[in-house]
Amino acid sequence: MSEEKSLNFIEEIVEADLASGKHETILTRFPPEPNGYLHIGHAKSICLNFGLAKKYGGATNLRFDDTNPVTEDTEYVDSIKEDIKWLLEGTGNGWAQELYASDYFEQLYAFAVDLIEKDLAYVDDSTSEEIAIQKGTPTQPGINNEYRSRTVAENLALFADMRAGKYKDGEKVLRAKIDMASTNMLLRDPIIYRIKHAHHHRTGDKWCIYPMYDFAHGQSDSIEKITHSICTLEFIPHRPMYDWCIEKLGIYPSKQYEFARLNMTYTVMSKRKLLQLVNEGHVTSWDDPRMPTISGMRRRGFTPDSLREFCDKIGIAKRENLIDFSLLEFCVREHLNKIAQRRMVVFDPLKVVITNYELGEENLLSENNPEDENGGERNVPFSKEIYIEREDFMEVAPKKYFRLAPGQMVRLKSAYIIKCDEVVKDEAGNIVQLNCSYIPESKSGSDTSGINVKGTLHWVSVATALPIEVRLYDRLFTEENVGAAEGDFKEYMNKESLQILPIAYGEPSLGEATLQERHQFIRKGYFCLDKESTKDKLVFNRTVTLKDTWAKVNK
């Protein structure tokens, strides 16, 4: 957060804790579950946790919540680390320690044994369906089953047998003994350990019992001495369990605080739904540029600066709200406008022959970025034959049409003023070529005050035009609030979210483009090179259009 802004409520809590001497410094954590790729909602949490620690001279741990071996994979671990490094790029920030809940499996088991010895946990043989029924409803209290009265000795022996692998998945669970009549359903003897005979990506087959999130979370925070454990609002009902475990175990009193998660228009944030999109082939991968994942946005050309600015603008709130996707696009445009290299690319070419041009080929200078005084210039080849956009010509033009038309003049970007003298058509009546003449003394930078030209077109020389593939990405859904829409969320997918132009023509300098560079295709939008590019086939992704046209088109 910028220093000029007022403090958000979490910063107020931190400042009060530091001022009172409750903490000498702060330690936060970012605790992703390695069962999918991070999305823009996680970016908000990353910016908050890492930004908070940096602002107040503390540190942040990266701790993977790897307590469910069935859904976790090292691919996700690697992608999460890469995303965080990229998002924090240039900030001088990063995680203090890379940790895993699995680092604490032995300690967490000991904590569970401690609760059993205090008669605060018991082994239950009930099925998941029976447990659900016994828990009751929000308006009716639950009931104590026969297993709740097992002795401490019996529970210790059964829990040891669970660890030893003597039972099948689902045959037994360990539950905290709290209050089956609590108004908080999560306190009605929650399950804290379950049996899963599954290979773990770090511990292998050493364990066949795994702690539940609500048990592992607070204790892991406590082991690391996390001062401010920041979660999203859906964890408010979980906080009493967090506090109960810490209190009963008598361990370091980490505290949980909640803020509103990020909900954004025209997208979904559920990992389950995102995984469904990937598995069912609605998108190509987790890093498909249409996905709201950090890796997808990176591939699409978003910059870490723009995502951090977006998170800064939406702030930290106590209530859920729906953020407009156009705000993210605005932040991206603002940053790309400052850093993107300007290049000319023709999507739908119409050939123009400049009949009186006799110089063969010349190199003309064009600025790389008018917003950057140190951006420099580049050479752009110019010749007798060029391509312009087909939409930039109209045979029968209205009065206020400032592009090319018969008898009308336009300026070619960084080049000359030309006039359309003749329209050439094929036998079917389709326009295939324009014959034009140019004004030699109108070269860019010359004094042309005596010539009234209002339109400027981009172009590329036919002789040196570089064939490229262009992928035009747009919003993945047509419904503003996908989460609240009726029916299957996939019914609202935008069929026009990807349009591919197999061949467009760019100026030759694009042949030297790198994955790290950002480009503005003049009058077209912001683009970046895609990772699927090869030497023989360059692919460029549209990051965002030059202006927000979505609202107008989709009213």
Which residues are tagged catalytic? Answer: 33, 261, 271
Which has the closest alpha carbon to 223: 88, 108, 52? 108
Q: What DSSP string describes 215-253?
A: HHHHHHHHHHT-SEEEEEGGGGGGHHHHHHHHHHHT---
d(CA 44, CA 536): 39
- Beta bridge partners of residue 176, listed in sequence order: 121
Which has the closest alpha carbon to 66: 27, 36, 35, 92? 35
**Residue 98 burial (CB count, 10 A):** 13
- Whether 216 and 12 have beta carbons less than 8 Å apart is answered as no
- Whether 431 and 394 have beta carbons less than 8 Å apart is answered as no
Sheet with 431-438: list strands edge to edge: 456-457, 409-412, 417-425, 431-438, 349-354, 385-389, 460-461
d(CA 38, CA 267): 14
Structure tokens at 44: 């908000």
Q: Locate the DSSP E strands across 31-86.
A: 59-64
Helix (H, G, I), strand (E, B) or coil at 118: coil
- Whether 506 and 466 have beta carbons less than 8 Å apart is answered as yes
